[in-house]
């Protein structure tokens, strides 16, 4: 089972790397063509500096270029920049989800490629620079409007401010990316095992800060292992239906992207009996958005469940050829 689990994780890692590459190519294309289009569009808006649609001539005062049209053109430009940014951000969210999962899997596979790339990416502030590029486009449209408009200037500046704020808000991961279990990832490395096998329960810190914020002041129960349909929140800690518990010791604190592993034994504790075949659930501690730990009586079940199957009975050893010959020979009187 351990080998099968490792192969599954490796295949998932390879698929995640493929997803990451796919969206990276899409991001490259959308930025290449999108930035080129916006730059060309802004260059074409030099027509807004024209005062007249039809120049004045002898006996004709000329036809003035309406400022409402100028404001409309600049407003559409702002919408194009915002639309391009939202599409860009959509791909980046997929990228971040894939890279987060890769970082978790690499801890299990003893690989560090994506972890090193992520560290370099964060330290280089690449994502922040991309946001600044979009904000510069927005500021450019605002300055252009400041130069060519007079009556509609307040409306254009208001629109520019709104678009800039939307881009800033969308660039903050807290509002965009929400993990299934908050900033803590939980893994069962097997969904099925035989009686007597060991199963790893892995907690990974996905936040950019230490977890918890302060070292634990006392020992904390992080998860409880029960049969399906049993609810440990309604049981006493001494209830025999709570088959296993996972504990973090006093003073515990884990660094960003690091993990902590418990070994779940499927053999009965205290004797040589095995846990009965069936489906089992793990209830884990829940954390608020602020990183605060909810009480032990408010644990939530993991989505992944463990199925334990019967251990095959030991079959008698097959007789060797020498043994067969010895048994077939007539016994001497």
C-alpha 107 chain-centroid distance: 15
* Residue 222, pLDDT score: 92
* Residue 279, pLDDT score: 94
> What CA dihedral angle connects 291, 297, 302 and 305, to 10 degrees?
160
259 burial class (0-12, 13-18, 19+ CB within 10 angstroms)? middle
Q: Are 193 and 309 in contact (CB under 8 A)?
A: yes
- Residue 1 corresponds to which tokens in the numbers above? 């089972």
Per-residue confidence at 56, pLDDT binned at 50, 70, 90? low
Q: What is the mean pLDDT of residues 179-201?
A: 81
Is residue 6 scored above 50 in pLDDT? yes
CA dist., res. 106 & res. 259, Å (int): 11
Per-residue confidence at 319, pLDDT binned at 50, 70, 90? low
| More confident site: 323 or 117 | 117
Query: pLDDT for 118-152, tens place per residue?
Result: 777 777 777 788 888 888 888 888 887 777 776 66
Q: Residue holding tokens 């790397």?
A: 17
Q: Which among 276, 287, 275 has a CA at the least distance from the CA of 206? A: 287
* Residue 150, pLDDT score: 67
Q: Which among 245, 240, 201 has a CA at the least distance from the CA of 221? A: 245
Is residue 225 scored above 90 in pLDDT? yes
Q: What is the mean pLDDT of residues 54-60?
A: 58
Q: Residue holding tokens 């698929």?
A: 15
Q: What is the mean pLDDT of residues 39-49?
A: 73
Please state the φ and ψ torsions of residue 309, each to the nearest 5 degrees. -110, 160
CA dist., res. 313 & res. 305, Å (int): 25
* Residue 272, pLDDT score: 56
Highest-pLDDT range among 3-17, 51-65, 289-303: 289-303
DSSP β-bridge partners for residue 57:
60
Q: What is the mean pLDDT of residues 92-111?
A: 82
| More confident site: 44 or 102 | 102
Fold classified for 184-309: Immunoglobulin-like (2.60.40)
């Amino acid at each position: 089972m351990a080998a099968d689990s490792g192969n599954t994780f490796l295949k998932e890692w390879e698929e995640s790397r493929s997803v990451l590459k796919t969206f990276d190519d899409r991001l490259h294309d959308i930025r290449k063509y999108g930035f080129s289009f916006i730059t060309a569009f802004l260059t074409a808006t030099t027509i807004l500096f024209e005062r007249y649609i039809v120049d004045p001539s002898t006996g004709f005062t000329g036809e003035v270029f309406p400022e409402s049209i100028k404001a409309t053109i600049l407003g559409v430009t702002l919408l194009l920049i915002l639309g391009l940014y939202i599409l860009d951000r959509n791909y980046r969210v997929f990228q971040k989800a894939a890279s987060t999962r890769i970082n978790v899997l690499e801890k299990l596979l003893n690989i560090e490629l994506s972890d090193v790339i992520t560290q370099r990416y964060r330290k280089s502030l690449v994502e922040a620079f991309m946001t600044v590029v979009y904000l510069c486009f927005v500021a450019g449209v605002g300055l252009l409007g400041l130069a060519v408009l007079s009556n509609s200037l307040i409306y254009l500046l208001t629109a520019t401010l709104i678009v800039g704020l939307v881009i800033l808000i969308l660039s903050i991961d807290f509002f965009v990316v929400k993990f299934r279990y908050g900033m803590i990832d939980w893994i069962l490395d097997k969904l099925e095992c035989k009686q007597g096998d060991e199963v790893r329960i892995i907690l990974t810190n996905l936040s950019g800060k230490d977890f918890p914020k302060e070292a634990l002041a006392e020992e904390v129960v992080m998860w409880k292992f029960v049969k399906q349909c049993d609810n440990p929140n309604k049981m006493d800690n001494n209830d025999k239906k709570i088959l296993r518990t996972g504990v973090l010791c006093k003073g515990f604190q884990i660094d960003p992207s690091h993990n902590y592993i418990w070994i779940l034994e499927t053999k009965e504790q205290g004797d040589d009996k095995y846990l009965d075949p069936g489906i089992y659930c793990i209830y884990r501690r829940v954390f608020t958005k602020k990183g605060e730990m909810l009480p032990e009586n408010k644990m939530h079940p993991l989505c992944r469940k463990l199925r334990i199957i019967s251990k095959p009975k030991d079959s008698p050893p097959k007789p060797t050829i020498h043994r067969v010959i010895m048994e077939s020979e007539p016994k001497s009187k």
